[in-house]
Structure 1
Amino acid sequence: MAWRSSGATNEALIENLARHGLITSSRVKQAMLGVDRAHYAPSSPYQDSPQSIGHAATISAPHMHAAAAESLLPFLKPGSKVLDVGSGSGYLTHVLAELVKPGGRVVGVEHIQPLVELGTRNTRKSEEGRELMDAGGIRYVKGDGRLGWAEDAPYDAIHVGAAARDVHPALVEQLKAPGRLFIPVQEGNYQHIYVIDKKEDGSVTRKKEYGVQYVPLTDAPKD
């Protein structure tokens, strides 16, 4: 029902996603209501579809952001620490920050500086975003997301917003125990979401879920 979830306003979009069962958690619904997608999407912000943001990157469709937030939700609590690999426009980074405040922190990592700057600029368009950034609740950094971001590890939850060639070991290593990784993985001509759980005893399980279509998690473009 994703194709029928678009709306004329941010509120209409989120209400339609909830009505069609694409958002089931009240916490995720409130977080997404609190982050206006118009600050992050270059055009048609309330359409439930991905959009290019330049630099061979996209802002994913809202229903995919909802699916990621709901999957990670058991690990998104006040004070939790989150890594958002391929933070792009900054939209989901902000939504995740809403879900871990007060006291939580989300690090968005991008492989080219213009996308780091884009996420920062977009987040600062709203008063809520400015407050989170000024308080350290959101931080954007430049780095190879396949290697995670060791400086702030370990993380309660890690989201990857581009299709990886495999479940990169560094990301699993940087998870807390317990913790969860949500990652799209390229398998031949297809991509699937994998949910990787690290248990309290350090053991790791991986669950293959539904098919998706993301841009690849790659090296930064050559100048």
Structure 2
Amino acid sequence: MIARLRLQPADVGMGLTGQRVRDRLIEDLRAGGIADERVLNAIRTVPRHQFVDEALASRAYENNALPIGHGQTISQPYVVAKMTEALLRDGSPQRVLEVGTGSGYQAAVLAALGLDVFTVERIGDLLRTARKRFRALGLHVRSKHDDGRIGWPEQAPFDAIIVTAAAPALVDALLEQLAPGGVLVAPVGATGAQTLLRLRKEADGGITREELGAVVFVPLLSGMID
């Protein structure tokens, strides 16, 4: 079930931001193997063109990553769908931590699915813009300006964690904030050799690991920028 978004005429879009191009994107995602209708409906509903610069709005429903400034990107819709589907595979987690808010699009998709979303972003300018987008759409997303590698320990444990930047190895602090039975989805590896991983923390603390394919993400960096 998709949460009710506060959509304005500009969110509904027209022409290259309208329903026809969104439906075409959904068919592309289906053809690429995305099967969870909840995920497809969320991506159809969330206005991706509102999460990019106005000059790039006409390209928002292409299945490509796009620049959002500060050396960051809004992820390819297929990757957003694949990571979201991996989180939902065993059911709907209630509390989800996102590391790397960026444009806010991935968090908006999660919130549209009715999940309780917490998101951390190290670049203050990106976070301030994302917060405006959440408010405009009526999405309740809790956000924090902080080093994403630290996670959000005060709000832990989380049923799921999604990381939208790649570290050379898994970050122990994030695994520690995952509840038993919880799922973490993250790209791991050096530039040019990144793999999307799905990890499940078992009741005994053990980790089940699954590789979901090669991906390309910006690096997960430490520190904060105002």
- Matching residue of 1:217: 220
| Equivalent in the alignment of 1:63 | 78
The correspondence for 2:185, drawn from 182, 187, 196, is 182
- Secondary structure of residue in 2 paired with 1:124: helix
Does the CA-based 8 Å contact 2:64-2:77 persist in structure 1? yes
With the length of structure 2 as denominator, give the TM-score of the two structures: 0.83
How far apart are residue 87 of structure 1 and its match? 1.4
Deviation of 1:76 after TM superposition, in Å, equals: 5.5
What amino acid is aligned across from residue 96 of structure 1 in structure 2?
Answer: L
* Structure 1 segment 117-156 matched on structure 2, within 5 A: 117-126=128-137, 130=138, 132-133=139-140, 138-156=141-159
Deviation, 1:220, is: 4.4
Question: Does structure 1 conserve the Cα–Cα contact (< 8 Å) formed by 2:182 and 2:201?
Answer: yes
Give the structure 2 partner of residue 94 of structure 1. 108
CA distance in 2, matches of 1:65, 1:15: 15
Superposed displacement of residue 158, structure 1: 0.5
Unaligned runs of 5+ in 1: 1-6
Structure 1 partner of 2:118? 107
**Deviation above 6 Å: which 4+ runs of structure 1?**
none
- Among 167, 172, 178, the alignment partner of 2:170 is 167
Change (3 A) 1:189 1:39: closer
- Distance (whole Å) between structure 1 residues aligned to residue 120 and residue 90 of structure 2: 19
RMSD (CA atoms): 2.0
Structure 2 CA distance, aligned partners of 1:75 and 1:207? 14
For normalisation by structure 1, the TM-score amounts to 0.84
Is the Cα contact below 8 Å between 1:88 and 1:116 reproduced in 2? yes
Aligned to 1:207: 210
* Offset of residue 163 of structure 1: 0.7
1:25 Cα deviation (Å)? 0.7
Change (3 A) 1:45 1:125: farther
Could you tell me how far apart the structure 2 residues matched to 1:122 and 1:76 are? 27
| Structure 2 gap segments, 5+ residues each | 1-18
Which residue of structure 2 lines up, in the alignment, with residue 4 of structure 1?
none
Amino acid corresponding to residue 135 of structure 2 in structure 1: R
Query: Does the 8 Å contact 1:163/1:215 carry over to 2?
Result: yes
Identity %: 38
Q: Which moved more, 1:142-151 or 1:63-72?
A: 142-151
Kept after mapping to 2: 8 A contact 1:88/1:118 = no
* Counterparts in 2 of 1:76 and 1:92: CA distance versus 1, 3 Å: farther
Aligned counterpart for 1:12 among listed residues 24, 35, 39: 24
